[in-house]
Amino acid sequence: MNTSQYAFADRAHEQRRLASQAELFDPLTERVFRAAGLGNGMRVLDLGSGAGDVAMLAARLVGREGEVVGMERDPEAVASATARRHLRRCPGFGLPIKADHLLGNASPIKF
């Protein structure tokens, strides 16, 4: 990825900012996900996954029977999200969060 095209060229700072932002917005995001019906056993695709916070929140909601894949085009963000995922545990399960973070660009995908 060409960082000159990315609004936040200091990736490490941006990852920290996104993690802090997630702490603030996670309760609201969780309420929205639950209201939308996200729950145990579902499969989730998070395009533009960034630091992976939304994917990890979704992974907690889908539980052991579900699966989450986060796709991100910034290799440093993928590495950061993967490392952070291994440090987190699913509440009530004591297991690593089941979410994979993949390097990729979703822009060419036709929806």
| Phi and psi, residue 106, nearest 5° | -85, -5
Number of domains in the chain: 1
- DSSP, res 57: H
CATH code for position 67: 3.40.50.150
Strands (E), the chain: 43-47, 67-72, 99-103
CA dihedral 98, 104, 109, 111 (to 10 degrees): 30
Its domain, for residue 74, covers 10-103
Q: Residue 3: pLDDT band by 50, 70, 90 thresholds?
A: very low
> Does residue 17 sit within a domain?
yes
pLDDT band at 111 (very low <50, low <70, confident <90, very high): low
Contacts of 25 (CB under 8 A, 6+ apart): none
Higher-confidence residue: 59 or 19? 59
Confirm whether 5 is domain-assigned.
no
pLDDT at residue 94 tops 60: no
